[in-house]
Chain A
């Protein structure tokens, strides 16, 4: 499976609210030598001409999606675009790209796009999902998170969060955005696009899952208790006012769990609450397996579970991070306990 997985072309999603700097990010990424063989899928909405031209300037193969929004209505367009790219690559009509980047519209719910990538058979066999990257404008973060459920979904679905336009915002404002993003999605790494030393490799690297689960749990406490400076608190309050229903929490299981019982519980939970369970990410100690199992779900969409080679630390308890909207997590914890017959503790609440 390892060689097969590595033969799959990675597909990255660049998402973020309107005007949050997706195209600027894309331009910067495409200038990197390691991105020289990247195919880019963009869509047509509002300033599409501008977007299209900007991406064309880097001289990459571009497929302009016909519909205005890569939402559920255009899922078949995305599927067709990827199949078309594949066919043209096979026939030698376009350079042999080794990565695809999809830039979503600012209003896109990333769920259907991920669903398309993970569920279509042809796509499954030729592509694999890479990191989801979301840009958040430091100045207008409150607007992004308010009146826009997709903004929250984009943040929740991300593996990397990039705070943009930090030179136009007060330092306290940037600190507040960083804190609130870490609270909403503790499973993502949050970087300042201008100050932090990130590059294409760091942004696109799919870290071994074990490493990506550990820091987020420690970040929970840091994000919620230490937080940003006092000067940032008014900004934090303003940002959280728009996202107060969204909460992150982490559950820890002391004993190995029955994977089948867990799968039944999670599938049942996502069937009923898939719109409100924005993200589930965890590392599980499973009965009958020495290797930990990594799980990752965005709303209704569950990535195939993965075995990890080893535990990231001496601590071999199952740990699961949830990002939910308006859900009673004490009851969710009790439900998991009842379904799996295992004791479940809540680690921290954001």
Chain B
């Protein structure tokens, strides 16, 4: 059995798939999930939002004012984040791009 493909089958949404194998130098599923959370927070901090892992199965999205929402995948983060923020979250926004370029 292909270990990599086994990982594909283990996730329900494409945005939560892992395409590397541990034997090939990739992360474990748990590490991958934490990495995903860290990278997503790198974006969300510009929107005053934060995401955290919930038991390895869902994500909890929270705002600075205490609003929270549970989402199943990273792809599901964005529409919910826009609802919490009450504004669009645009990956082509010049200010966001400039902020990410600054690091």
Contacts and interface: CB of A to CB of B under 8 A. Distances in A.
Given A1-B5, A286-B19, A272 B74 contact: no
Interface in A246-299: 258-261, 263-273, 286-291, 293
Contacts of B94: 331
B92 to A, nearest CB: 5
Contact of B92 (A259, A270, A288, A331): A331
Interface residues on A, range: 35 or more
Nearest to B26: A288
A269 B75 CA distance: 10
Given A2-B2, A268-B91, A291-B4, A338 B78 contact: no
Interface in A304-350: 304-305, 307, 327-328, 331-332, 334-335, 337-339
Among B14, B24, B36, B82, residue most surrounded by chain A Cβ atoms (within 10 Å)? B14
B68 interface: no
A304 B75 contact: no
Interface residues of B, number: 40
Given A1-B1, A260-B36, A268-B89, A338 B97 contact: yes
B35 A260 contact: yes
Given A261-B39, A293-B19, A335 B92 contact: yes
Interface string B26-40: 110000100110011
Nearest to A259: B19
A259 B20 contact: yes
A219 interface: no
A335 B97 contact: yes
Given A264-B36, A268-B91, A288-B27, A305 B19 contact: yes
A271 B100 contact: no
B20 A263 contact: no
Contacts of B21: 288-289
B6 to A, nearest CB: 7
A303 interface: yes
B69 interface: no
A339 B17 contact: no
B8 A271 contact: no
Q: Is the interface of A mostly helix, strand, loop or mixed?
A: helix
B60 interface: no
B103 to A, nearest CB: 9
B66 to A, nearest CB: 24
A1 B15 contact: no
Contacts of B27: 288
Nearest to A292: B19
Interface in B51-91: 74-75, 77-79, 82, 88-91
Contacts of A259: 18-20
B2 A267 contact: no
B91 A265 contact: yes
A279 to B, nearest CB: 15
A302 interface: yes
Nearest to A272: B90
A266 B6 CA distance: 23
B48 interface: no
Nearest to A328: B92
8 contacts: A1-B1, A259-B19, A272-B78, A289-B4, A289-B20, A305-B8, A307-B2, A334-B101
Enumerate the 7 nearest inter-chain pairs by beta-carbon distance, A residue then B residue, closest first. A288-B20, A288-B26, A1-B5, A271-B78, A338-B100, A267-B75, A268-B91
Interface of A: 1-2, 258-261, 263-273, 286-291, 293, 302-305, 307, 327-328, 331-332, 334-335, 337-339
Given A272-B89, A288-B25, A289-B21, 7 more contacts: A1-B8, A260-B36, A260-B39, A263-B14, A304-B14, A335-B91, A338-B96
